[in-house]
Chains A and B, each alone.
Chain A
Amino acid sequence: MVKVYVPIDSTALSLGAERTAKKIVQEAQTRGVNITLVRNGSRGLFWLEPLVEVETAQGRVAFGPVQPSDVLSLFEAGFTEALSDSAKAHPLYLGLTDDLAWLKKQQRLTFARVGITDPLSLEEYVAHDGYKGLKNALAMSGADIVKAVTDSGLRGRGGAAFPTGIKWNTVLNAPAEQKYVVCNADEGDSGTYSDRMIVEDDPFVLIEGMTIAGIAVGATQGYIYLRSEYPHALKTLNEAIRKANLAGYLGENIQGSGRTFYLEVRRAAGAYVCGEETSLLESLEGKRGLVRFKPPLPAIEGLFGKPTIVNNVISLATVPIILDKGAQYYADYGMGRSRGTLPIQLAGNLKQTGLVELAFGATLRELLYDFGGGSASGRPIRAVQVGGPLGAYLPESQFDTPLDYEEFSKIWAVLGHGGIVAFDESVDMAKMARYAFEFCAVESCGKCTPCRIGSTRGVEVMDKIVLGKNHPQNVQLLRDLSDTMLNGSLCALGGMTPYPVLSALNHFPEDFGLSNKEAAA
């Protein structure tokens, strides 16, 4: 009985993994080959998906990309005996998965199990170091758990990069009979999918992280606010929660500790602004997702007015390894004040896209060329947007910037949630600037004027600039408007839309009908 792995991750499915899996089972039956099909998560090498793996005495051997039409020839080559010469001679043979350069060069901490295990097997989760962090946490005081998270240097991976431990400490010290842990899984940034991968490919690590958070600060109820655009993730997460409840990892008296933590998934409904934490809380309360004024901070008055931890999926999914291996182990990765690792998502016009988890400090160039292999189209990469639709566009001259929160801040850019979208030379940056305003207009919650009105005025000004109408005046107007949005908006949606707009204008003035000299003025 040989184990054959075909991923069940959405991206693998979007490339035909379901049909490939069915064809493999069918062909094995026809030929009388004894296999066990395992539906694992994705290893994150998307240009090779559907990536099929076969278990051998030396480790797992990969083949990819495997379309249903390749299955016949794989069986003819005897691929289920993946170490055989005939299997190695198959054109889709890639060698031992662990030896693939893409994976070898990474430091996978948060994504340690992703792609390796069956996402819904609690046994496999535990066998691969799962629930070790919770075990340690159950023997610690809340203050010590919070201290470990603080000492690890973990900062909010949703994009704001606020120190997670400080947030937890505020909730810990806020007296209340009811507190909440809320996971922000409303991953709306273009170019990002790491939250989705965690939820679909290793859901128990998120459940464990939230349970630890609840135990640390004395919260007994958790909510995961999940995008409605992720139906597979929803199914996986609900099933994982059901299994965790059954096995005593959620609910009352967790693992005999006397501690309680209930967890529930709530579906979002397609509003990008609900990724902003206060808007998310309004939505969880069953209201329009209008951004709240701060203060009060959600850590003091959050969900239903109670002290609430609101963290991104990746932040919470990183907590178990910190509690398992210790704060120092995690803090030893990274550079400067950016400690640990960042799950980077390569997207857009790149030859090799996928998930790359690395310690902070790698340069954009390494990611775009060493990992990404350059553009998919074969034309030069002209611009890169890092950090989602509110992130700056960077020109080639900035590709040597190390991935580090402070280094990015120095060049007026953001790392955000770690998404990197590459554009080749065919991109029109004035059009991208216009799109940034258009997106902001579609998604604005409408509470503050700079965002609600400014975004629409921005689209209009961009249209005039593209047509060359009153050119110098309209460029000045664009800068004034951006300044108003930057300084006058209530949240990052309006407040950061100027990042893509002004970075496009400053780095690519020729697309706005300006010379470099005019742009500088």
Chain B
Amino acid sequence: MVGCEVGLDNTLSNEQHAQIQAHIQAHQHVPGGLMPLLHAIQDDIGYVPEVVYPEIAKALALSVAEVHGVVTFYHHFRTHPIGKHVLQICRAESCQSMGSEKLEAELKAKLGVDYHQTTADGSVTLLPVYCLGNCGCSPAVMLDDEVYGRMNTEKVTELIAEVCHG
């Protein structure tokens, strides 16, 4: 078993809602404040809940469609909760030249998920990424906020075990 136990709950707690409101207040007068606001929300909550689009739109004098448009334009933002940990595998050319296709196939099989999916136990969400700026040490992956170079399936599996159980 590669992962660790955690549930995926998409109902907002009162505390989370209060956090979001505080972020909206802090950003509503910042020039071009929507992007930093979305980052702040996702950093705290793990995703940008669609239910708060109307509040964001009202505070920033935008339409709900505009908020939706921005959230969905950027690969980084997501509208649903994800696994406890995020594993990003670099799909770009440099990593391909060092065998990243084999790595991604093996990791998908090992985790039992495809890209944009979360392991059955909710521990790891697998995402593709196009360059981590670690091209001198391909293939590269990023697990949560740490980048790792010269990876293979065994090493990544160990890293996952460490963050889940370590």
Query: Residues on A close to B: CB < 8 A?
Result: 10-11, 13-15, 46, 49, 187-193, 195-196, 227-232, 266-272, 283-289, 304, 345-349, 353-355, 376, 385, 389, 419, 421-424, 427, 432, 435, 439, 442-443, 445
List of A residues within 8 angstroms of B38 by Cβ: 269
State whether A191 and B145 are in contact (beta carbons under 8 Å apart), knowing that A424-B97, A442-B130 are contacts in the complex.
Answer: no
Residues in chain B near residue A227, CB distance under 8 A: 133
Contact (Cβ within 8 A) B130 A266:
no
| Among A46, A286, A348, contact of B98 (Cβ-Cβ < 8 Å) | A348
- Which residues from chain B contact A376 at a C-beta distance below 8 Å? 98
Q: A193, B136: Cβ atoms under 8 Å?
A: yes
Say which residue of A191, A271, A287, A289 sits within 8 Å of B135 (CB atoms): A191
Interface pick from B4-12, B67-75, B103-111: B67-75
Which residues does chain A contribute within 8 Å of B73, judged by CB atoms?
A: 271, 288-289, 445
Given contacts A191-B135, A349-B98, A419-B135, 20 further A-B contacts (CB under 8 A): A13-B147, A14-B140, A15-B137, A189-B131, A191-B92, A192-B133, A193-B135, A229-B129, A269-B38, A269-B74, A286-B33, A287-B34, A287-B66, A287-B70, A348-B97, A349-B97, A355-B136, A376-B98, A423-B97, A427-B97
| Interface: B160 (CB within 8 A) | no
Q: Chain A contacts of B32 at CB under 8 A? A: 266, 284-286, 304
Is B53 part of the contact surface with A, judged by Cβ < 8 Å?
no
Is B75's CB under 8 angstroms from A190's CB? no
Report B62-87 CB contacts with A as 1/0, cut-off 8 Å: 00001001100111110000000000
Known: A14-B147, A267-B36. A354 touches B136 (CB 8 A): yes
| Cβ contacts under 8 Å, B132 to chain A | 229
| Complex partner residue of B133 from A10, A46, A423, CB under 8 angstroms | A10
Give the shortest distance, in Å, between B35 (CB) and chain A (any CB): 5
Q: Size class of B's contact patch?
A: 35 or more
Cβ-defined contact, B75 with A286, below 8 A: no
Across-interface contacts of A15 in B (CB, < 8 A): 137, 149-150
Q: Does B166 contact A (CB under 8 A)?
A: no
Which residues of the other chain, A, contact B31 by a CB distance below 8 angstroms?
A: 285, 304
Chain A residues whose C-beta falls within 8 Å of the C-beta of B133 in the assembled complex: 10, 187, 192-193, 195-196, 227, 229-230
Complex contacts, B134 vs chain A, CB 8 Å: 10-11, 14, 193
B135 touches A269 (CB 8 A): no
Which A residue sits closest to B88, measured CB to CB? A229
* A49, A421, A432, A442, most chain B CB atoms within 10 A: A421
Are B131 and A14 touching (Cβ within 8 A)? Answer: no
A228 CA to B138 CA in the complex, in Å? 19
Partner of A190, one of B69, B131, B137, B150: B131
A439 vs B129: C-alpha distance when bound (angstroms): 11
What are 23 A-to-B residue pairs whose CB atoms are below 8 Å?
A10-B134, A14-B134, A187-B133, A188-B131, A190-B131, A191-B93, A195-B133, A229-B142, A232-B147, A267-B39, A268-B76, A269-B75, A347-B135, A349-B98, A354-B136, A389-B93, A419-B94, A421-B93, A421-B94, A421-B97, A432-B96, A439-B92, A442-B130
- B146 in contact (CB, < 8 A): yes
- Alpha-carbon distance A353/B140, docked complex (angstroms): 14
Q: Which residues of A contact B148 (CB under 8 A)?
A: 14
Interface centre among B32, B36, B132, B133 (most CB of A within 10 A): B133
* In the bound complex, CA of A439 to CA of B34 (Å): 27
Contact across chains for B135 and A345 when beta carbons are under 8 A apart: yes
CB distance from B74 to the nearest CB of A (A): 4
Q: Interface SS of chain A: helix, strand, loop or mixed?
A: mixed
Choice from A229, A283, A385, A422 contacting B131 with Cβ under 8 Å: A229
| In the complex, chain B residues 111-164 whose Cβ is within 8 Å of any chain A Cβ | 129-138, 140, 142, 145-150
Chain A: which residue is nearest B37 at the CB level? A286
Q: How far is the CA of A337 from the CA of B52 in the complex (A)?
A: 53
The docked-state distance in angstroms from the alpha carbon of A267 to that of B39 is: 8
**Inter-chain contacts of A230 with B (CB < 8 A):** 133
**When A271-B73, A289-B74, A389-B92 are in contact, do A14 and B137 touch as well, CB less than 8 Å?**
yes
Interface residues of B in 9-64 (CB under 8 A from A): 31-36, 38-39, 60
Whole-angstrom CA separation of A189 from B95 in the bound complex? 12
A385 surroundings in chain B (CB, below 8 A): 93
Contact A288 B138 (CB under 8 A): no
When distances are taken between beta carbons in the complex, the residues of chain B under 8 Å from A432 are: 93, 96
Complex Cα gap A289–B69 (Å)? 10
**List of B residues within 8 angstroms of A191 by Cβ:** 92-94, 135
A378 to B105, CA, bound (A): 24
**Chain B residues closer than 8 Å to A286, beta-carbon distance:** 32-35, 60, 70
Q: Which of B36, B70, B135 contacts A192 (CB 8 A)?
A: B135
The reply to whether A346 and B131 contact each other, CB–CB distance below 8 Å, is: no
Residue of B nearest to A47 (CB): B136
How far, in Å, is B96 (CB) from chain A's closest CB? 7
Report Cα–Cα, A228/B131, bound state, in Å.
11
Query: Given contacts A14-B147, A14-B149, A266-B36, is CB(A190)–CB(B135) below 8 Å?
Result: yes
Distance between Cα atoms of A190 and B139 in the complex (Å): 12
B96: contacting residue among A188, A231, A435, A442, CB under 8 A:
A435
* Given A269-B76, A289-B74: A443 in contact with B149 (beta carbons within 8 A): no
Q: Which residue of A lies closest to B127 (CB)?
A: A270
Inter-chain contacts of A427 with B (CB < 8 A): 97
**B145–A269 touching, CB < 8 Å:** no
Q: Is the CB of B39 within 8 A of A190?
A: no
Q: Which residues of A contact B69 (CB under 8 A)?
A: 288
In whole angstroms, what is the CA distance A230 to B145 when docked? 9
Partner of B138, one of A188, A229, A348, A424: A348
The interface residues of chain A lying within 8 Å CB-to-CB of B140 are: 14
Q: Report how far A189 CA is from B32 CA in the complex, Å.
A: 25
Complex partner residue of B130 from A272, A284, A421, A423, CB under 8 angstroms: A272
Question: Looking at A188, A190, A442, which has the most chain B CB atoms within 10 Å of its CB?
Answer: A190
Verify B76–A270 contact, CB threshold 8 A: yes
- Which one, B70, B77, B130, contacts A439 given CB within 8 A? B130
> How far, in Å, is A219 (CB) from chain B's closest CB?
14
